[in-house]
Amino acid sequence: MKAVDGTRGAWPRWSADAGLVALTVLPPLLSQPYVDPSGVAWSALAGYEAVTAVLLALRRRLPATAFAAGLAALVVAPAGGASQDAKLTPLVFLPLAVLFYGLGCYCTSWVRTGLAMSGGIVAIAAGLLVNWTTAGAREYKGGLDILASLAPMPLAWAMGFAARTRRALLAAAEQRVADADRAQRLEAAQATQRERARIAREMHDVVAHSLTLLVVHAETLRARGDELPGWARTQIDGLAAAGRQTGGELRDLLRMLRDPAEAAPLQPMPGLGELAALLDSHRAAGGTIEARVGAALGSLPSAVQLAGYRVVQESLANARRHAPGAPVRLTVDSAAGRLRCEVVNTRAARRGTAGAGVGLGLTSMRERVSALGGDLSAEPTDDGGFRVVATMPLESAGA
């Protein structure tokens, strides 16, 4: 793409240069027959035009050199033709005007500009002297007519200098805009980082502290497990394991919030290979689940595995909160290039926890699945239960 764009960008410049050379070279050739159609005049003009055509093409890269060489060619061609009693058209001064403009527009060194103009004055004076000493007739000797043709030339240099100044001002304005945009993005990034740090502090002070207390209490109860009934010991074990896992994931999340550059978590992100441990923790918390999990799910793209794991995790948590004691049926399988996760629970065996959750679980699941180009449906069933189905394509996640 870069090569194509560069070719497209270079073509208009070359076409403009070709057009400029044609407009500069053709007028003298068209007017010469009306001034002097002799072979000597045509030979001098042809050599001069060939040299100036090359110099016009080089005026951008070597403005001072092209100007000095063009002025020297202009001095040699008319003076040489006059020594052979040949006269060139006055339009031979046209290429010099273009070279003057190029000197003002592209030469950024005042030293080179001064040297080129000083050398040009010396060359013109020497050319007039040679012309007066070698021309056979007075009509071939230059004088005020030469000076009249050269007088407007500094205006071409002034126009080129004005164009270069305007280009520099535009470049400076664009640079200021780019610097302002960069500063604005930096300020926004710093504000985002400050907000991330504030959120991390709040989560650490509130959530992490409470979660740590929960795990400590669960471990204390485990230490006194001989004083608890069997069903309580099982649930305490599940509670402690879930607390430790959640604490580890919360530490990783806080670490990434404080420093987004450290995007890699301390612990590997869970995938479908950890579903067995997730189901065990659900059973340890008193849940009943019938699972049908497909084979070779561990080879799926990691993004799809993480999203599928989170969907199952959130669905089981919702079932425990809103339908405690209800049997859950889980189906996870991949077919036709898509992963399908279905979690269905029946009617609750007893009243759920009042006010449990803040309504963000389904939103989070839907955002995860949608980010991978999948679909998620969550709706009540006819028997009073709840059904969550998530389907995600595998190709977009692995691309």
pLDDT tens digits, 11-33: 567 777 788 888 888 888 888 88
- Residue position matching structure tokens 């003076």: 79
**What is the value of pTM for the model shown?**
0.47
Q: Are strands 328-335 and 338-345 parallel, antiparallel or unpaired?
A: antiparallel
Nearest to 70 by CA among 81, 57, 80: 57
**Contact between residue 267 and residue 245 where contact means Cβ atoms under 8 Å apart:** no
pLDDT of res. 189: 83
Q: How far apart are CA 93 and CA 195, in angstroms?
A: 69
- Rg (C-alpha) for the chain, rounded Å, is 43
Query: Which band of pLDDT confidence, cut at 50, 70 and 90, is reported for residue 128?
Result: confident
What integer is the mean pLDDT of 59-63? 88
**Contact between residue 395 and residue 311 where contact means Cβ atoms under 8 Å apart:** no
Angstrom CA distances, 292 to 16, 22, 68, 332, 349, stand at 72, 80, 87, 6, 23
pLDDT top residue among 85 and 355: 85
DSSP one-letter string for 150-180: HTTHHHHHHHHHHHHHHHHHHHHHHHHHHHH
Helices 153-203 and 230-258 cross at an angle (nearest 10°) of 160
Collect all residues with Cβ–Cβ distance below 8 Å to 392 and sequence separation of at least 6.
304, 307, 308, 338, 339, 369, 372, 373, 374
Query: Which band of pLDDT confidence, cut at 50, 70 and 90, is reported for residue 5?
Result: very low
What integer is the mean pLDDT of 86-91? 82
